Amino acid sequence: MMLNPVTDAFAATLRARLPEAAFRPLTPAYLQEPRGRFHGSGGLLVCPGSTPEVVVLMRACAAARVGIVPYGGGTGLVGGQIMTDGPAPVILSLERMRAIRGVFAQENALVAEAGAILAEVQAAAAAQGRLFPLTLASEGSARIGGCLSTNAGGVNVLRYGNARDLCLGLEAVLPDGSVLNGLTRLRKDNTGYDLRNLLIGAEGTLGVITAAALKLYPQPEAEGAALMVVESPAAALALLSMAGRRIGGGVSGFELIGRMGLQFLAEKMPEIRQPFAEMPGWMVLIDLGLGAGQDPAAALEGLFAEAAEAGLVSDGVIAQSVAQRAAFWDIRERIPEANRKIGSVSSHDISLPLSVIPEFIARGGPALARIGDFRINCFGHLGDGNLHYNVFPAAGKTRAAYEHLRGAVKRCVHDLVHDMGGSVSAEHGVGRFKVEDLERYGDPAKLAAMRAIKGALDPLGIMNPGAVLRQG
Amino acid sequence: MMLNPVTDAFAATLRARLPEAAFRPLTPAYLQEPRGRFHGSGGLLVCPGSTPEVVVLMRACAAARVGIVPYGGGTGLVGGQIMTDGPAPVILSLERMRAIRGVFAQENALVAEAGAILAEVQAAAAAQGRLFPLTLASEGSARIGGCLSTNAGGVNVLRYGNARDLCLGLEAVLPDGSVLNGLTRLRKDNTGYDLRNLLIGAEGTLGVITAAALKLYPQPEAEGAALMVVESPAAALALLSMAGRRIGGGVSGFELIGRMGLQFLAEKMPEIRQPFAEMPGWMVLIDLGLGAGQDPAAALEGLFAEAAEAGLVSDGVIAQSVAQRAAFWDIRERIPEANRKIGSVSSHDISLPLSVIPEFIARGGPALARIGDFRINCFGHLGDGNLHYNVFPAAGKTRAAYEHLRGAVKRCVHDLVHDMGGSVSAEHGVGRFKVEDLERYGDPAKLAAMRAIKGALDPLGIMNPGAVLRQG
């Protein structure tokens, strides 16, 4: 099943069948990913203006056996949007299909084309007093199609779920050019196999999502946040459990932040105000969104009092204003930026069963110390069991000095995660970066079933060749 | 791809490979479904005691091309568990695999074998102060494997989602006898295609679920309920939206009940106390589960006051005790029993986009009146857009008098649902009862993709032959 490259003749065929507006210059942005680890080698950028135009394109590619690399906002971190080798593909961007087709406020639903920017979807919901809760650092450029194809996560997963949980229905073009008309706004529909969730998270290897019906939520009537100093990750978990019992579904975020993250902020971004006079070993950011007549500050005070009584927290600060809540979140959200300024040896997007997280953190440091001298910044979405476990050079050393250890570090962390029942890709996906990891750690029966499904739906292997599954 | 019947020789082969305990008498219960519309014609009942025994069974069936009909609690309403014709199959029951393998209270997770009874899972969670929210009329006999295979719904979907949303991971045996080891307790895992959701709702046609990791929730600290009289279904929807805005995630149930349901109760179960002196045209049952320090009665009073001000509600009663809340639910939950005593011409488990429900109800009566003289009992999970729309003989007439109209009634209702963007199977699934409906109303691209997936994962067609998809 060798694919053919885009040739001048093939490009001419496409130009004859699609409007001129569908052809845009292939600027370098389409050939690189944010961390600079993947570089595309060329191809033809095609930007259809409608679902029928996507059909025309995909049929032509299937007939000519030309690969198609779907490209959303270009913010993926695992190279799913960049084909690094092989015959030059069509790069398919839905950037011209960005309409919000409808907001159904009473239904708490919104229908958007795949090229809509996440922030635009959030704004369209907010304009009608609703919340689209998917919230990511890259929301200003990520597109809904990419968010769904990668099953994006972010900071609100604890309460509202990931992209998968926020999708009611999909329209998609399958590799044979047929259109899956699943743009339902139904909350319940048990008529046949769940193709929606199969396409979500398939990273463009089974078809191209062209539009989606998304879930909205009421906007919380009252929001609040607190930072609480905890003795240990185990205490943080006990606090999470207590918060769930006391506040239930009102807990929107529960983020773990360690001393290393605060030190990196102090070192690289001293303008950010540190929340505690003495830098704590561990702290959590708790965010609440409550209904009418409820008082987030009071709920957080009650939680703190019970947690202090139980010996779980030793200090805390509750946001007294919208600005202070934003400042708390700013601490959390600028840690990745500080990380980039320090420069990691290896970064890991992992998840674990909640109860083993303390043990993982306890074992991770010593395991890495056997390889070299590192600083570890472990932080992230504790409520989801999702840690960003990033490994940095020791103070005063350069990233280059660790280049030869990068593979061993990744292997060490991922082996430990796998041994403890975790995932080596919690929210970023497989792309091309983690194809080997999937082969190493993935369940053999799952991989065989995935290959069978890929073969059944995309027998020519034209969709995002080499992503998720090695090209056959 | 003709299948072979279970022969004495094949049965002997199985007896040689599996322990004696795996063979139980095939009592009539395994060959009939609750409404009596499907009757199996025979087969061999096999009840493996472990996942490896399931593997042995499925490999033997694949080698001999013998069909396998998975059987859970036998409570499905669409004949998915009953093979009515074709070569005698193996009937596979996991009734001996009913262990709760573990409760992970701090993680809000529980791992159960597929044969565990839903009520047992609920009890195991409750014993550790947690809630497993899946709640069905048949929870005393439905098994977790069946609940997941059919993506069961119930009365708590509005808040907690359906069975799909309550599953973290699956162990399953695929048609080739390979074991999918996906029994993860992770909240986030983006490593490859979503086979979990593909198996959930596949009604046993792609493999057999043997165990599941399930989501638990904190038990609400305070519960409450109210019945409110609404002017119309449109007013009920506006009240739902208001409740969402005021109370957010605290709304656990929002059920619509019409006058016909109350009349049926009065006629067939006069011991049930009617909630209002004058039988209302429409009323809703609103159920709340709130956190510590919150007062459900106060929340419901506040909602009623705002709704009355807006002209949405004309009367209401708020439960003043646990017993009264139970009595409210009893009204809702005994309507299906009253329906059975009346005897429907045709019953429909439909869903619609929330905002078109009033129009659907307005159009349904006149459309049916053109066919005959009926009584319609429309009730159900309004919060999910899921109505049970059941059509009965006119007062004083018998069901038998309408036998010839049954097909026309079903077609009339389903055509209208389909025209209005709804689903003809919201929560009960396809089974064998709705195979034709799926062919008539299903998206052609979806059906083609389903057939391709079925062919890829079960090329011999041994899994639940004739369910969901017509046997090829």
Location of structure tokens 């990419």: A146
Kindly report the backbone phi and psi dihedral angles of residue B130, in degrees, each rounded to the nearest multiple of 5, phi listed first.
-120, 165
Q: What is the mean pLDDT of residues B414-433?
A: 96
Query: Which pLDDT score is estimated for A35?
Result: 78
Query: Which pLDDT score is estimated for B38?
Result: 85
Chain A residues within an 8 Å CB radius of B446: 180-182, 192-193, 195
Measure in Å the smallest separation between the Cα of A398 and chain B Cα atoms: 31
Give a yes or no: residue A451 inside a domain. Answer: no
Chain B residues within an 8 Å CB radius of A427: 188, 190
Verify that A193 and A280 share a domain, yes or no.
no
Give a yes or no: residue B428 inside a domain. Answer: no
Nearest residue to A208 (alpha-carbon basis) of A472, A471, A434, A467: A467
Cα–Cα distance for residue pair B157/B148, rounded to 1 Å:
14
Q: Which residues are CB-neighbours of A154 under 8 A, at least 6 positions away? A: A134, A135, A136, A137, A162, A427
pLDDT for residue B15 is more than 80: yes
Task: Decide if A373 touches B, using CB distance below 8 A.
Answer: no
Verify that B182 and B292 share a domain, yes or no.
no
Q: What percentage of chain B carries pLDDT values higher than 90?
A: 93
User: How many domains does chain A divide into?
Assistant: 3
Verify that A359 and A328 share a domain, yes or no.
no
Measure in Å the smallest separation between the Cα of B396 and chain A Cα atoms: 35
Cβ A107–B353 below 8 Å, yes or no? yes
pLDDT tens, position by position, B360-380: 999 999 999 999 999 999 999
CATH assignment of the domain containing B366: 3.30.70.2740
Strand B374-381 versus strand B346-351 pairing type = unpaired
Verify that B152 and B206 share a domain, yes or no.
yes
Q: What is the mean pLDDT of residues B276-284?
A: 97
Q: How far is CA A83 from CA A70, A80, A428, in A?
A: 10, 8, 17
Verify that B245 and B315 share a domain, yes or no.
yes
pLDDT for residue B472 is more than 80: no
For residue A424, the tally of other CB atoms under 10 A from its CB is 25
Give the one of B200, B245, B442 whose C-beta lies nearest to A191's C-beta. B442
CATH assignment of the domain containing B46: 3.30.43.10
pLDDT for residue B291 is more than 90: no
Chain A residues within an 8 Å CB radius of B209: none
Cα–Cα distance for residue pair B215/A155, rounded to 1 Å:
20
- The interface residues of chain A toward chain B in range 248-307, judged by CB-CB distance below 8 A, are 248-250, 289-294, 299, 302
CATH assignment of the domain containing B240: 3.30.70.2190
pLDDT tens, position by position, B136-180: 889 999 999 999 999 999 889 999 999 999 999 999 999 999 999
Give a yes or no: residue A20 inside a domain. Answer: no
CATH assignment of the domain containing A139: 3.30.465.10
* CB of A264 closer than 8 Å to CB of A338: yes
Location of structure tokens 């109350």: B262
Verify that A278 and A363 share a domain, yes or no.
no
Query: Which pLDDT score is estimated for B228?
Result: 98
Kindly report the backbone phi and psi dihedral angles of residue A244, in degrees, each rounded to the nearest multiple of 5, phi listed first.
-65, -40
Cβ B291–A174 below 8 Å, yes or no? no
Location of structure tokens 């796998």: A418
Domain range for residue A150? 100-218
Strand order in the sheet with A167-173: A100-104, A109-113, A208-215, A167-173, A179-182
Of B95, B120, B144, the last residue of a domain is: B95
Q: How far is CA A230 from CA A306, A312, B246, in A?
A: 13, 6, 33
Of A335, A365, A393, the last residue of a domain is: A335
Of B376, B399, B419, the last residue of a domain is: B419
Give a yes or no: residue B438 inside a domain. Answer: no
Kindly report the backbone phi and psi dihedral angles of residue B148, in degrees, each rounded to the nearest multiple of 5, phi listed first.
-75, -40
Verify that B107 and B214 share a domain, yes or no.
yes
Token code pair at residue A439:
């082969």
Location of structure tokens 């009939």: B32
Verify that B142 and B78 share a domain, yes or no.
no
Verify that B328 and B351 share a domain, yes or no.
no
- Kindly calculate the radius of gyration of chain A based on its CA atoms and give it in whole angstroms: 23
Query: Which pLDDT score is estimated for A41?
Result: 83
Q: Which residues are CB-neighbours of A152 under 8 A, at least 6 positions away? A: A134, A136, A142, A146, A162, A163, A427
pLDDT tens, position by position, B436-445: 999 999 999 9
Verify that A159 and A239 share a domain, yes or no.
no
Kindly report the backbone phi and psi dihedral angles of residue A449, in degrees, each rounded to the nearest multiple of 5, phi listed first.
-65, -40
* CB of B241 closer than 8 Å to CB of B311: no
Cβ B190–A180 below 8 Å, yes or no? no
pLDDT tens, position by position, B71-129: 999 999 999 999 988 999 999 999 999 999 999 999 999 999 999 999 999 999 999 99
Cα–Cα distance for residue pair A47/A45, rounded to 1 Å:
7
Q: Is A396 left (phi over 0), alpha (psi -120 to 50) or beta?
A: left
Q: For chain A, which ranges sit under pLDDT 70?
A: 1, 472
pLDDT for residue B9 is more than 90: yes
Least confident of B34-48, B141-155, B317-331: B34-48
Give a yes or no: residue B449 inside a domain. Answer: no
Verify that A359 and A387 share a domain, yes or no.
yes
Query: Which pLDDT score is estimated for B73?
Result: 95
Verify that B17 and B109 share a domain, yes or no.
no
Chain B residues within an 8 Å CB radius of A443: 180-182
Give a yes or no: residue B124 inside a domain. Answer: yes
Q: Which residue of B has its CA nearest to A234?
A: B106
Give a yes or no: residue A134 inside a domain. Answer: yes
Give a yes or no: residue A5 inside a domain. Answer: no
Q: Which residue of A has its CA nearest to B186?
A: A353
Chain B residues within an 8 Å CB radius of A421: 184-186
Nearest residue to A337 (alpha-carbon basis) of A138, A119, A72, A162: A138
